Every structure is written in C-alpha cells, then in structure tokens.
Chains A and B, each alone.
Chain A
Amino acid sequence: MFRSLFTASTGMYAQQLNVDVIAHNLANLNTTGFKKGRAEFQDLIYQNIIQPGAPSDDGTQYPSGIQIGLGVRPIAVAKFFTPGELINTGNSLDIAIDGDGFFQVTMPDGTIAYTRAGNFRIDRDGRIVTNDGYPIEPGITVPADALSITVGADGRVTVLQPGTTAPVEIGTIELARFINSGGLKAIGKNLFLETDASGAPTTGSPGTEGRGTLVQGFLEMSNVNVVEELANLIIAQRAFDINSKAVQSSDEMLQTVAALKR
C-alpha cells in the first residue's frame, strides 16, 4: 500500500512523544533542581529505488538517484544540565550548587542516588535528609542543641552550640560529578541513578576537581524556560497537524484508486 500512510503516522507518533516531553518539562516548571529534557529525532531508513550513481539507460550516471524515506523515529530524550536560577530562601538548609555536581543521598535500599535539589531538612535523629527522608551521603548529624548551622562554599558544615563562641565542625557535604551527566537515569523524586552511560562519579569536596561550590540559603529552580517550551509546543502541535494531513491525503488517494473500478 501507500508508504506515505505509514510514513506520516511515524511523524504523528514522534510529535506526540515531543508533546509528552514538553508537558513533563512544563509540569516541572517549579520543581527544585529539575533538569529539562528534549526529544531528539532522526530520519528512518530509506528505500533506494535508484541508487545514486547508478548507470542510466543512456549510459550516463544518475547524480542523485531516487530514495524514498520511510519517516522519523525518536532517538533520545536528552537531558540538559544547564544551571537553573538560584532563588534566595534564607533557610539555612537550602543549599544550591553553583557549577557542576550532585548531592549524594542514600536510598532506603542502600543505593546512592544523585540530586540537584538542595532543599534539605533535619529528621528526628538530627540527620540531614531530603524531603523524602533520605539521608545525605556521607551522613551528617546535627547536635540537638545546635543554635545555627552554617554550610561553607567548600561543603564544611559547622554549628554554634550554646555556651560556646567557636563554631564546631560536624561534617562535610560532598558532591559527585559525572563525565556525562546526560547519561544519568531519572527515577523521579528529583533523583538520578548512575548508569553505564554516565560513567562512575568522582566524589569529593565542593570546589575541587571541577565540582561546583555550595551556596547556603539558596535553591536552584528548574532550568525550564517557559517561552522556549511554549514555542516548542506550538511547533509540535502544528507538526502533528500537518502530518495528519498527509495521512488524509493518502486516504484520499486510496479512495481515488478504489473508484477506478466501477
């Protein structure tokens, strides 16, 4: 049957996926530490009806031949780890990363997950945890009588205790950095897992080996740009529309064929 029917349907499928990705970005417009995705497409295979360079019946060569493409396929939803805006919250356990790197948290099953969302809390045992209650790795416990907590740009966490004037160091927040952070696997809850594509992380103090520094009292917002997403949404919707026209046209042609036989 007509290839165009199926070719156009690959186009519709691709644009639908595009809208899915854009909708996810927009839904997370206000999610701390969210990193936007972008659907990437490639053209599918080609049917070579005449190979370029094949000899013609006049003895010359066809300079371009005839190749009929069979549509499009999604190849990746690339994640973009460009920085989001920092907003001032004044909360001493809101920490943003200025530069590359991820906070490490221990999940209930013991695996380490990575996140850019630095909105930490203190649980009843005094541990610094994420909003889901996952403790930060390496674990830091804040003494019950701490008056104030200070996080330095280099990750050192110090507290002031009653009766003393000198701050006491209680631990260091370490960051992890990946050579290909785009290869991380998102698992929801603002968390990412290491994969074979991302490579193993290099961990250490903030500000060393290319890792970013910490900024206390700030949160990193999502890096989604509304204007850009809306423009992409319009393009995706229109592209979907136009591809449906190609399906309609193929249908019309088929009707015409059917009308051949009286």
Chain B
Amino acid sequence: MYKGIYIAMTGMAMRANELDTISNNLANINTTGYKRQSFASRVYPLLTGRPADTKAIYQDARYQTYFGTQYIDLKQGVLRQTGAPLDLAIQNEGFFAVTKGNKTLYTREGSFTRDKEGYLITQAGLKVLDENNSPITVEGEKVEIGRDGSIYVDGNLVTKIKLVKLNNISHVGQSLYEGTEGGQADAQVIQGWIESSNVNPVNELAQMIQAIRNFELAQRATMNFDQLAQRAVSEIARI
C-alpha cells in the first residue's frame, strides 16, 4: 500500500514523544537543580538515504517512529537565595557526588540537610561525598562552606566537598544523574543559595505549539493518503 501513510504516522508518533519531553520539563519547572531535556529531529533518511532501494526507504521510514536525538541541556539554572546554611548551589559546570547503595550518583540538587548521626545528606537521605569519596559529617554549630567547597565547622576545616565534571550523562530520576567522572569541575559552591531548574517556560511553550501544529500537519497528510486509497477503491474501480 501507500508507504507515505507510515511515514506520516511516524511523524505523529515523534511529535507525541516531543510533547512527552516538554511535559516532563514543565513538570520539573520548580525542581531544584533539574536540567531540561532537549531534543532535535533527526534528518529524514528518506532524503539522504538509499533512493534506489525502495525496500530500504520503507524500513528507514519506519525507523522514524523513534528518532530524534535527545540530550541534557546543562545550562546554568537561576540561583535563588534561601539563607539556609546547608543549601548549596553550584555555579558553572559540575555535580555533587552522592552514594546510593554501593553506587555513586551525581546531583545538582544542593538542598542538603543532616541526619541524626551528623552526615550531610540530600532530602532523599543519600549521603554526600567529599573529595576522598567518603561521606561527610558536619557536627557542630556553625557550618561555613567556601566557594571551592571547603567545609568549615566552627572555624575548623573538616573536608572538601566533591565537585566533578561528568561525561556521558543521563537522567536516573529523583534528581540524580549517571555518568563517567571527568575530573575536578571548574565550579564554585555558593552557600545559602539553591539552583532552580533551567527550564524556560517561553521556550517550552513555543516548542509545545510547534509540536501540536506539526502533529496536525502529519495527521492531514495521513488523511490524504486515506482519501487517495478511497478513490482508488471507489472511483478507479467504477471505470
């Protein structure tokens, strides 16, 4: 039958994926340290691919269902002052390291707190790591954290918080990221502030409108193929 109907439908499925991603960004517009997901459509293989082989075109067209490349936009989020001594924002690149089970994961959500043993933990209870990959304890009255991540308790240097660059980064949910460590990050820690998400509503709304309109266009195209098929059945048959 008409191959085009599948191509048009892959367009629709792709726009739906785009809307899913936009919705997730918007849902996390107020999530501390969230980094938005960005996407781009992949070049249509139908135009670039193997024009001689019709079978290949057909297969490539079906592949379109899934593709659009996607990446995490690590742009800086807006910093917000809170005044709480254990609220830490990272300015510039880099992540805090936390331990979950026996895995090390990474986060920009710097709204930390302390547990009853004095460990520095995230709001989800994960221990924050220092430069030597050991959990940090802060017991004392006055906690001061320098721009370079040095932690002073009652005026004494205790340890330095770990700040790493990440490669091959991916979301794991719960404000955590996975990736491979790429050395010390060129970052500054700002005490008493938190980093808001880097989602920009204007941007997301514009993309949302684009996704809907493109979805409608693809739907029109699909319907046109339907009409074509109907003519083939009813009108050509009459001749």
Contact = CB atoms under 8 A, between A and B. Distances in A.
Interface of A: 2-5, 7-8, 10-11, 14-15, 18, 38, 40-46, 49-50, 52-53, 57, 62-72, 75-76, 78, 80, 82, 99-100, 178-180, 182-183, 196-200, 210, 235-236, 238-239, 242-243, 245-246, 249-250, 252-253, 256-257, 259-260, 262
Interface stretch (B91-99, B108-116, B157-165, B181-189): B108-116
A11 B204 CA distance: 14
Nearest to A63: B168
Nearest to B67: A66
A43 B222 CA distance: 35
Contacts of B68: 66
Contacts of B71: 63-64
Contacts of B215: 253, 256
A180 B137 CA distance: 12
B123 A76 contact: yes
Given A210-B141, A253-B19, A260-B219, 10 more contacts: A4-B22, A11-B23, A43-B171, A46-B171, A63-B71, A80-B84, A183-B116, A197-B116, A210-B140, A242-B204
Interface of B: 12, 15-17, 19-32, 34, 37, 63, 66-72, 82-84, 109, 111, 113-118, 123-124, 139-141, 168-175, 201, 204-205, 208, 211-212, 215-216, 219, 222-223, 226
Contacts, number: 206
> Is chain B's binding surface mostly helix, strand, loop or mixed?
mixed
B226 A68 contact: no
B30 A235 contact: yes
Contact of A43 (B118, B174, B201): B174
